[in-house]
A and B are shown apart, each in its own frame.
Chain A
Amino acid sequence: MTNTPLPQLDDQRSKLMKQVRQRWQLYLFLLIPVIYILVFAYYPMLGVQIAFKNFQPRKGIWGSEWAGLVHFKAFFSSFYFSRTVTNTIRLSVYYLLVNFPLSIIFALMINIIVNKKLKHTLQTILYIPHFISTVVLVGMLMQILNPVTGLYGNIYRLFVPGEYPPDILSKAQPFTHLYVWSGIWQNLGWNTIVYIAALSGTDVELHEAAQIDGATRLQRIIHIDFPALLPTASIILILNSGSIMNVGFEKAYLMQNSINVVNSEVISTYVYKVGLSGATNQFSYAAAVGLFNNVINGILLLIVNSLSKKLSDGTRGLF
């Protein structure tokens, strides 16, 4: 019996081959980035298997023994698991909930400034804090909020001489707020860039038409600018929700002290402390925790993406 391929598939294949033959230069261009991604992004992913092994540097990734779920069990059963995960999620979600609407509102506000010079100067000033390193930012925070020698303490003593104000840094509750709002101060300007770019693409004629129809400024923002932002905003929201479990190590570690550790111990600082205690399996342990983080992130990403698609009737989704 001869194996005759379906005429449909055969057609498609020959079409593809024809295309490749005709435009082989384009496909050659594509070849290099594809190889780059395969070698430097996909192949290293195979290294995540050390999360299920006891990684020994001498035996390498492939030669180390399998250890099953021992690292995951160690992480889930550790005393601090629930605290670190709760803190991580709380910080991330809080930041997301604040950052998302604020960036949009700010972008809308900057966009309606008519004076071009003022607009550009304002934008530049607003996104300069983004370039301050985390260490410098936390240093500034510590110095300003010091109740004895800082700006906060000195201003307080102007009004209440001889007394020291309550120490914000030595309390657990304010940590979350300080962490998030200092992050907002630092990154708000930078985050508005994408939105302002999207806004500058709105049709001027739409605005003119609306003005003729008698729309107020606010109405124009709500009905023209805001819908223009929605595609960009939904994509950014989906992407941000895919990094909820990744609270950066540096800032949390620098701001952490033994009083606020209830709120400031996040997954990354905890794994750092465990790694430093000298067990040589810290690579495997850190890989297991990282894999756990990324699986959660991936699931969240898919959920938010499908939600977004549902709410927008299939038009606004990342994939």
Chain B
Amino acid sequence: MRKMVGLFLSGLLMLTLLTGTVFASDLLNEPGTLPLVKSPVKLVIGTPAIATITNYDQNHFTNYLREKTGVDIEIFLFDGVEYRSQLQLMVSANEKLPDMLWAFPLPPAERENYGKQGYFVDLLPYFEEHKLTHYFDGEAASYLTEDEKSTTLSAGLSSNGALYAFPFWAVSVADPWSNGLLINNKFCEALGMDIPTTIDEYYDYLVAVKTKDPNGNGLNDEIPLVGFAKSGNGDIITNLLNSFLYYPATWEGVALCADDEGKIYVPYQQDAFREGMRWIAKCHAEGLISDLSFSQDRYGLQAMTDLTGDAPDVVGSAMSHRSYMFASHATAERRPHYTTIGPLVGPEGVAYASTWKTEPGYVNFITTDCEHPDVAFAVLDFMTSAESTLTARYGRENEYWRYATEEEIAGGSAWSDLGYTDVLYTSANMKLAWGQQTDEIWNTVHITWQPKGFTALTPKTVYENPISQYNYDDWNQGVMKRYGQAPKNLVGSLAYTEEEVAQLGTSETDIGVYVRECMTRFVIGEMDIEKDWEEFQNNLKVMGLETVLSCAQAAYDRAYGSK
């Protein structure tokens, strides 16, 4: 009798084991229904700890996900700075990895490496099957342009054709067009000049600022042009060069560009680059560019522009993002003194804005240690929905953001000049969690689905504070002038094969550092643009520029097809 009961029980146990494995995919409810799972499933999510988040486990967004998806989420925090090394150590010690890694930036080569070695799940089959992509194919896709739809998956493919990460877009309409000049309009008034639109008018303005004492204090303390270092926003050189040829926004990168036929080139081998450098060097030689632009950080610039009371303005024009010039750009006293301008038209009629190729982030992974990859994928799919995105970006509904009112929808989108008509939500004049110490959100855009088409769904904002209104209007008109002023083909991140990585070695770093150094030295006059140009080009060849170009061409052709 005992034996029979024992046999029966063990048989029952075996059956339950079987049910665990055989009916795994039956854990999920019908696509489109919430919660996602029939019974609670536990998923461990690893993410680098962001310093401003006070609580990840009882964070509002985490609880929101738990409630909506029905998944029991456990957070595993990685070190906020050393997360890459931490992951490598976990892997080499054969530790069990979390089921998913979120907001985990890895360079494409490293991502491919982990994928090839079997640590990340290849997600391409899920996208191709369309079974678990309810929100991705529906709501999320409706905000994408045709171009973006084709890049969403293809830009993340590794050189072996696998997609090891889940794409998430995070591009505001204004972001890629935030590089450029702000001109001191009070100085323009004092000098009786219009806001410059061409490079020659700008030169005249700079000379006038230097010589005619526009701030009227009798002292020669005006600084015609200043920027800041180590950032594309404050980079005087690459931004001014865009009036001569296109130069992408990068500080020490190789600056790969593609012409209309898809052929890869680099701007610093072109004659137009030389012309541009001559012009900038001439300005510096005449004392029109402050040397601080090459050594200070944005706070140095801020100390010069964010003035109050009796302190006279000294900056004639600043190369910056509006928010770097002032501690609080929406309320700073001097903000109305500066006007954002579009690209200056060069002598040959060239007027580009220094920008970069917008791509989704490929920083969310499902590891092969995950026992329920289907459920994990479904959670990521849910996060591409509008509601999840808004909760992750702002906080809870009606406190930090709300859906737009009928009136606001009728008033049209803030970006209607670009053809956007719909309005969905707004966060203006509501509580703010982004960038603050908070347990409301995760303070990262990598878990939100915000392509341009989504971020454009905000209504025109009306501010009570006139400075805030000026700040908003001025910035928008500047962005509008720069919008789209870039070549047809931009080069984004490229996926190299192992052989190509071995060929490249340290060439990319060497070239990037060298170009930045030489550009600076050409401008300040330590290197002569006429005499030292040959040496500059030769050194680039010695560092392997040809190899870099050929590897880049191969990778580009693989991703976008040779034209």
- Considering only residues 242-289 of chain A, those with a C-beta below 8 Å from chain B are 257-262, 265, 273-274, 276-280, 283
Residue A38 interfacial (CB < 8 Å): no
Given contacts A146-B303, A258-B517, A259-B294, contact A274 B509 (CB under 8 A): yes
Q: A146 touching B508 by the CB < 8 A rule?
A: no
User: How many angstroms between the C-alpha atoms of A174 and B542 in the bound complex?
Assistant: 29
Chain A nearest CB from B265 CB (Å) reads: 21
Do B292 and A148 touch (CB < 8 A)? Answer: yes
Find the residue from B88, B295, B508 having the highest chain A CB count within 10 A. Answer: B295
- Asked if A319 is an interface residue, CB under 8 A from chain B, the answer is no
Given contacts A79-B542, A278-B108, is CB(A162)–CB(B506) below 8 Å? no
A149 at the interface (CB under 8 A from B): yes
A74 within 8 A of B: yes
Q: Are B517 and A262 in contact (CB under 8 A)?
A: yes
Q: Pick the contact of B220 from A56, A79, A163 — CB < 8 Å? A: A163
A258-B109 CB under 8 A given contacts A78-B506, A149-B300, A277-B508: no
Q: Are A259 and B295 in contact (CB under 8 A)?
A: yes
Question: Do residues B220 and A162 form an inter-chain contact, with CB atoms below 8 A?
Answer: yes
**Does A142 lie at the interface of the complex (its beta carbon under 8 Å from any beta carbon of B)?**
yes
The dominant DSSP class at the A interface is loop
B92 touches A60 (CB 8 A): yes
Whether a CB of chain A sits under 8 angstroms from the CB of B520 is yes
Residue of A nearest to B505 (CB): A74
Q: In the assembly, what is the distance between CA of A58 and CA of B91, in Å?
A: 6
Shortest CB-to-CB span from B372 to chain A, Å, is: 23
**Does A19 sit at the interface, judged by CB under 8 A?**
no
Instruction: Report the separation of the CA atoms of residues A259 and B236 in the bound assembly, to the nearest whole angstrom.
Output: 14
Q: Using Cβ atoms and an 8 Å threshold, which residues of chain A touch B88? A: 57, 283
In whole angstroms, what is the CA distance A172 to B113 when docked? 40
Question: By the criterion of a CB under 8 Å from any partner CB, how many residues of chain B are at the interface?
Answer: 49
A148 and B303 within 8 A (CB):
yes
Q: Is the CB of A258 within 8 A of B92?
A: no
CA A190 – CA B244 in complex, angstroms?
Answer: 55
Given A79-B543, A259-B295, A259-B520, does the pair A149, B304 have CB atoms closer than 8 Å? yes
Residues of B contacting A162 in the complex (Cβ-Cβ under 8 angstroms): 218-221
A167 within 8 A of B: yes
> Which chain B residues border A148 with CB–CB below 8 Å?
223, 290, 292, 303-304, 314
Given contacts A60-B92, A259-B520, contact A170 B300 (CB under 8 A): no
User: With A170-B294, A259-B295, A273-B513 as given contacts, are A278 and B92 in contact (CB-CB < 8 Å)?
Assistant: no
Tell whether, in the assembled complex, residue A261 and residue B517 are in contact, meaning their CB atoms are under 8 Å apart: yes
Contacts of B107 in A (CB 8 A): 277-278
Chain B proximity of A201: nearest CB distance (Å): 44
Q: Which residues of A contact B294 (CB under 8 A)?
A: 170, 257-259
CB distance from B488 to the nearest CB of A (A): 27
Q: Tell me which of A57, A58, A167 contacts B292 (CB under 8 A).
A: A167
Q: Cβ of A58: which chain B residues have Cβ within 8 Å of it?
A: 91-92, 117, 119
Contacts of A60 in B (CB 8 A): 92
A147 is an interface residue with CB less than 8 A from chain B? yes
Q: Confirm or deny: A292 has a beta carbon within 8 angstroms of a beta carbon on chain B.
A: no
Q: How far is the CB of A171 from chain B (nearest CB, A)?
A: 8
> Are B219 and A170 in contact, with the CB atoms below 8 A?
no
Q: Say if the beta carbon of B549 comes within 8 Å of chain A.
A: no
The proximity string for B residues 496-529 relative to A, scoring 1 for CB distances below 8 Å and 0 otherwise, is: 0000010011101110011011011100101000
Q: Does B230 contact A (CB under 8 A)?
A: yes
Distance between A74 CB and nearest chain B CB, rounded to angstroms = 5
- Are B300 and A146 in contact, with the CB atoms below 8 A? yes
From the candidates A146, A170, A261, name the one contacting B513 in the complex (CB within 8 A). A261
Partner of B509, one of A57, A149, A277: A277
**A79 contacts which chain B residues (CB < 8 A)?**
510, 514, 539, 542-543
B115 to chain A, nearest CB (A): 12
Contact with B along A117-151 (1 / 0, CB 8 A): 00000000000000000000000001000111100
- Knowing A142-B300, A274-B506 are in contact, say whether A80-B513 is a contact too (CB < 8 A): yes
- The reply to whether B295 and A80 contact each other, CB–CB distance below 8 Å, is no
Say yes or no: A259 contacts B300, CB within 8 Å. no
Contact: A164 with B221, CB < 8 Å?
yes
Please, how many angstroms separate the alpha-carbon atoms of A172 and B524 in the complex? 12
Is the CB of B421 closer than 8 A to any CB of chain A?
no
Tell me, in angstroms, the Cα distance from A105 to B179 when the chains sit together. Answer: 54
Asked if B190 is at the interface of the complex by the 8 Å CB criterion, the answer is no
Of B218, B294, B505, which is in contact with the most chain A CB atoms at under 10 Å from its CB? B505
Contacting residues of chain A (158-180) with chain B, CB-CB under 8 angstroms: 161-164, 167, 169-170, 172
Contacts of B524 in A (CB 8 A): 170, 259
The verdict on B404 contacting chain A, using a C-beta distance below 8 Å, is: no
Expressed in whole angstroms, the Cα–Cα distance for A172 and B295 within the complex equals: 11
Q: Chain B contacts of A164 at CB under 8 A?
A: 221
Residues of A bordering B, CB below 8 Å: 56-58, 60, 74, 78-80, 142, 146-149, 161-164, 167, 169-170, 172, 257-262, 265, 273-274, 276-280, 283
Other A-B pairs beyond A147-B292, A261-B517, A278-B109, 15, CB < 8 Å: A57-B92, A78-B510, A146-B300, A148-B290, A163-B220, A164-B221, A167-B291, A167-B295, A169-B296, A170-B292, A258-B294, A259-B295, A259-B524, A265-B513, A277-B508
- 25 A-B pairs in the complex with CB atoms less than 8 angstroms apart: A56-B117, A57-B91, A58-B91, A58-B92, A58-B117, A79-B514, A79-B543, A142-B296, A142-B300, A146-B292, A146-B296, A148-B303, A149-B303, A161-B219, A162-B218, A162-B220, A167-B292, A258-B294, A259-B520, A262-B517, A277-B509, A278-B108, A278-B110, A280-B109, A280-B113
